[in-house]
Amino acid sequence: MDINGETLVETTISDVGTYENQEVTLKGWLYNKRSSGRIMFLILRDGTGIIQCVASKKDIGEDLFSRLGKLNQESSLVVRGIVRGDSRAPGGYEIGVTGCTIVSEAFDDYPISLKEHGVEFLLDHRHLWMRTPRQRSILLIRSEIIKACRDFLDGEGFVNVDAPIMTPSACEGTTTLFPVEYFGEQAYLSQSGQLYNEAAIMSLGKVYCFGPTFRAEKSKTRRHLTEFWMIEPEAAFMEFEEMLELEERMICFILERVLTGCGHLLKEIGRDTERLTGITPPFPRLTYTEAVGLLKQRGIDIAWGDDFGAPYETAIASEFDKPVFVTHFPTKIKAFYMQPDPDNPDCVLGADLLAPEGYGEIIGGGQRIHDYDLLLERLNQHNLPAKDYEWYLDLRRYGSVPHSGFGMGIERAVAWICGLEHVRETIPFPRMINRLRP
Ligand code: 4AD
Ligand code: MG
């Protein structure tokens, strides 16, 4: 950075410690400021952290001092100053300001002040809300969770393949498809990359896709987005039991990563990390039939064959400190591709992983039908036109093998790990039934 013809070390707030007692420049935004006559405290944020910059009239002159004094929150600045160790400062350092360039003066009506706002107001101003420390922490944790998923699967020998977003047919049932007009043909936004993963494993063995998925769900709950991100591993020759173990390992890997790498961020957002530390394999397992029995014991009115709503999932999960698998759902309430249990074909080799503390299903997965005739029969039962699934049937015609996979919704995982009330804070720009903007 060049100020007044001098070249100074340019660094970030997270790295200032490397330059103690040296003069550096920092580029960022004014988060807050206060003044006591001849001294002004500028709280600067730059994405990597927050630091207090102390400016005095004597060091920077009347003119700059008075211009800084008039700055509104969120004005952008390049600050020059000496890095000073200060045990009372949050990051352990502060900056003794020697100079400052005002890059852009913020207007005086910045909508997100440091007071409380209603959540609809905040969502309307998501583009600005995301600058606040809490939202920044959540986005950092989200990024770490995504990285952990990738590192885990890469380490287990999975290959990242990406599934298309525009698709001609349904994966998870036809009722929640978003239509797209595709050059005179009807297409849909993808609900899941699974079917394409199933093709890719016959080439690569173990694969995963990671991308946005779309559900035109009319659900207005704290767990539902219409656009969410899903990590979907799939493996040839992997059977049901092995898949459950893979899920356990992945969840524990993610938790370990976040607890070690983002412990300070979890603390900042007020997460009780005790609830996450004891989570190790194996996770408890209940069959759907056992889960229904448990719910009945707890006085809940449910019949065998009913799908689980959120309150049921919460009731089941609250019995355990760890995530819990519910397995062997009734065939008739699950997707067409689910492999029936050979010992009881009324149930499938499918599992939902329910997170503790009321967060509900974070993973859905199972073993897939690998028999050609059975798959064809199921497509017919679900009124899905076989001609749209010819390519998918080909996978059963040419060297079919038992295989399994699952999908984890990133936002559900972030909500649980961060302990958030609602998934709307887990994604940079949430899309929900009543929200498409900003
Ligand atoms: O259980 P789902 O529908 O499973 C599938 O889509 C499979 N094809 C995945 C696979 O096996 N490859 O969705 C998987 C996960 C859920 O457990 C949940 O975490 C998340 O995706 N999810 C949602 N997240 C936010 N908003 C929604 N509307 C969601 N619907 C599903
Ligand atoms: Mg599901």
Reported as a single tens digit per residue, the pLDDT across 108-145 is 999 998 788 999 999 999 999 999 999 999 999 999 99
Measured CA to CA in angstroms, residue 268 lies from 88, 143, 202, 302, 435 at distances of: 17, 16, 45, 40, 28
Ordered domains of the chain (ranges, CATH): 2-104 (2.40.50.140), 126-425 (3.30.930.10)
**Predicted pLDDT at 413:** 98
Tell how far the Cα of 111 is from the centroid of ligand 1, in angstroms.
Answer: 35
Reported as a single tens digit per residue, the pLDDT across 29-43 is 999 999 988 999 999
> Whose Cα sits closest to atom 7 in ligand 1?
407
Residue 4 pLDDT more than 90? no
Please say whether the beta carbons of 288 and 329 come within 8 A.
yes
Longest distance between any two alpha carbons in the chain, whole Å: 85
pTM: 0.96
Ligand nearest to the CA of 229: 1
What is the pLDDT averaged over residues 164-173? 94
- Choose one of 192, 206, 234, 414 to mutate for the ligand 1 pocket test, by most ligand atoms within 8 angstroms of C-beta: 192
* Nearest ligand 1 atom, CA 423: 25
Closest to 341 in 3D by CA, of 376, 365, 375, 369: 369
Tell how far the Cα of 158 is from the centroid of ligand 2, in angstroms.
Answer: 22
**Predicted pLDDT at 113:** 81
Reported as a single tens digit per residue, the pLDDT across 209-237 is 999 999 999 888 999 999 999 999 999 99
**Predicted pLDDT at 416:** 98
Ligand 1-lining residues (CB < 6 angstroms): 171-172, 192, 194, 215, 217, 224-225, 228, 230, 232, 361-365, 405-409, 411-412, 423
Closest to 153 in 3D by CA, of 75, 254, 280, 226: 254
Q: Give dist(CA 120, CA 29) in Å, integer.
A: 25
Residues with CB under 5 Å of ion ligand 2 are 364
**Predicted pLDDT at 60:** 96
Tell how far the Cα of 393 is from the centroid of ligand 1, in angstroms.
Answer: 23
Q: Give dist(CA 206, CA 198) in Å, integer.
A: 10
> Whose Cα sits closest to atom 4 in ligand 1?
364
Q: Using the CB atoms, write b or e for 9-31: b if 16+ within 10 Å.
A: eebebeebeeeeeebbbbbbbbb
Please say whether the beta carbons of 52 and 89 come within 8 A.
yes
**Predicted pLDDT at 37:** 87
> For residue 67, with 0-12 CB atoms within 10 Å meaning exposed, 13-18 middle and 19 or more buried, which class applies?
middle
